[in-house]
Structure 1
Amino acid sequence: MRETVYGVRTHYVDAGGGDPLVLVHGGGPGASGASGWARLLPLLARHFRVLAIDLIGSGHTDKPLVDYSFQTLVDHLAGFVDVLGLPRVRLVGNSQGAYVAMKYALDHPARVRGVGTIGTATLASAVGLRDDGRAVALPRFDGSRASLVAFLETIVHDRAQLDDDLIGARFAVASLPGHREMLDSLGRYRTVVTEDPDQRQVFEVRERLAGLAVPWSMIWGADDRTAPLGSLGTGMRQLHPEVPFHVVDGAGHQVQTDQPQRVHELLMTLFERSSAPAA
């Protein structure tokens, strides 16, 4: 499916029926709604109209040569929700996408029923947490299939899930014009946000997150190598002891790929808390 959002042709997967649930994929080479949520989406589509967006610069959405920031992604998500005319949504985000989903909820709380976050160093960084040296650095994508496979093997615990279809689909997207430029731009932004107080003010959410009234939860892979449970996960749990926090065994950074059935169960429990009729 395609819609035009602020002039950006935006691709998304649309499945199921009922109340809208928007899935926000993480970053990295070849990322898209289809590949990031392939195993979880069919389970959620039994209950909701599931919309898995390809964020600007990723998937089969347009990749304009602009200076990217995390707010660029948040604003694109906001436009997507508006263009589709979704009055109130539930959101689930993984990794970088968890920050995007949560920042949208903070910016537009009246439009959100609940947020599920999955393994996110980006959101942890936005509340002031820092890794203690346990995190494994993500391999840099150099345009080769081998570097893409190395990246995927870092974020997925069960490497048996990395079949030829998934790798091929991600590599095809990673090879599209403009995608590597977006990755490089976001990489530069990650440096700028640590140095520029104006950019940092937009990025950080510690005070706002503490006052969020929208129901949300955290899901963390016990074997997450890039956003380690023992440092970032534990830090998030300590900052928000009132928020449901779930550790999933046998899962890495992409918990929804390693253990989709368990993630489905946990999200349904969260969404039962946010099942009141829309205002």
Structure 2
Amino acid sequence: MADQGKFIEAGGINTHYHEEGNGDPLLLIHGSGPGVSAWANWRLVFPILSKHYHLYAPDVVGFGYTEKPKDIQYSVDVWVDHMIAFIEKMGLEKLSIIGNSMGGALALHIANRRPDLVKKLFLMGSVGIEFPITDELDAVWGYTPSLENMKNLIATFSHDQSMADNDDLVELRYQASIQEGFQEAFSAMFPAPRQRHVNALALKEEELRRIEVPVILIHGREDRIIPLEKTSWRLSQIIPNAELHVFPECGHWTQIEKTKPFANQVIDFLSR
């Protein structure tokens, strides 16, 4: 597989997505970094998880190769509505969702609004609760395209600093961030001051307490972008059926830095 997948109209938006495998449906929702797409986010776990599940990984509206409507005002509601429309268009019922970072917040909002659609949630480095924005997240959302800026971001995302010296990875993500329309859409999503975007993605505590499905929260101990203590730890105290697993020597890119252990956690959790 390559980064080019299929297209379907969901909620009036021409939506790019990847689909592979057989078995129970599993939706994978990517995060919000510059140049991100479903494929950039999930390419390493796709070959492993597709042996067990029927995977669907869409590019959320405004990201990747999904349509970027000219007059759209990006917001949590717009993204959540798009993902619900995609689930319904694909005819999926009671599916589990893996959400990465911002994608974790979208997964929580879907479970809050449409509990009928959700079986289990697997959230990694997830937002979805208010916390003081980190300088690192501010830099991610405030990214302006250059190879140097992308190299710095990759160093921030990963605990293993050698990843920032991987010229192929830096070039791949940089090129993704400068494709036509990508940066224009991205810069429109998270204008300064950026604390308000963290707050907008958050659910109220009473909403989190109403989420009854099994939830597993995965977090890298050294995550500098979304700090463990301010997010997943607190979510694990509030969501009734949540458990927390922390990977040592791991930053924000759990699925990239801990690919096999991450996939094993998914398979174990979903097979219970």
Same fold flag (TM > 0.5): yes
Aligned length: 264
**Structure 1 unaligned regions, length at least 5:** 274-279
**Equivalent residues in 2 for 1:4-15, closer than 5 Å:** 4-15=9-20
Aligned with 2:9: secondary structure? Answer: strand
Aligned with 2:128: secondary structure? Answer: helix
Query: 1:84 aligns to what?
Result: 90
Label 1:161 to 1:3 Cα distance change in 2 as closer, same or farther (>3 A).
farther
Deviations 1:13-40 (A, max 9, x none): 1111111101000002111110111212
RMSD of aligned Cα (Å): 2.6
Query: 2:50 aligns to what?
Result: 45
- Paired with 1:57 and 1:254, the residues of 2 have a C-alpha distance of 21
Query: 2:148 aligns to what?
Result: 146
Label 1:174 to 1:220 Cα distance change in 2 as closer, same or farther (>3 A).
same
Query: 2:99 aligns to what?
Result: 93
Deviations 1:201-259 (A, max 9, x none): x9533211111121111001011011122333333333347511000112111111110
Contact 2:105 2:202 in 1 (8 A): no
Query: 1:187 aligns to what?
Result: 190
Query: 1:245 aligns to what?
Result: 244
Label 1:43 to 1:189 Cα distance change in 2 as closer, same or farther (>3 A).
farther
Larger relative contact order, structure 1 or 2 (CA cutoff 8 Å, min sep 6): 1
**Equivalent residues in 2 for 1:176-255, closer than 5 Å:** 176-188=179-191, 191=194, 193=196, 204-240=203-239, 242-255=241-254
Label 1:249 to 1:190 Cα distance change in 2 as closer, same or farther (>3 A).
same
Label 1:237 to 1:214 Cα distance change in 2 as closer, same or farther (>3 A).
closer
- Paired with 2:60 and 2:193, the residues of 1 have a C-alpha distance of 18
Query: 1:60 aligns to what?
Result: 65
Contact 2:217 2:242 in 1 (8 A): yes
**Structure 2 unaligned regions, length at least 5:** 1-5
TM (normalized to structure 2)? 0.87
Letter in 1 for 2:191: R
Deviations 1:156-179 (A, max 9, x none): 223445645544443333213332
Label 1:19 to 1:164 Cα distance change in 2 as closer, same or farther (>3 A).
farther
- Paired with 2:195 and 2:64, the residues of 1 have a C-alpha distance of 25
Query: 2:110 aligns to what?
Result: 104
- Paired with 1:101 and 1:250, the residues of 2 have a C-alpha distance of 26
Q: Percent identity?
A: 27
- Paired with 2:168 and 2:21, the residues of 1 have a C-alpha distance of 23
Label 1:136 to 1:149 Cα distance change in 2 as closer, same or farther (>3 A).
same
Query: 1:115 aligns to what?
Result: 121
- Paired with 1:31 and 1:85, the residues of 2 have a C-alpha distance of 26
Aligned with 1:51: secondary structure? Answer: strand
- Paired with 1:89 and 1:211, the residues of 2 have a C-alpha distance of 18
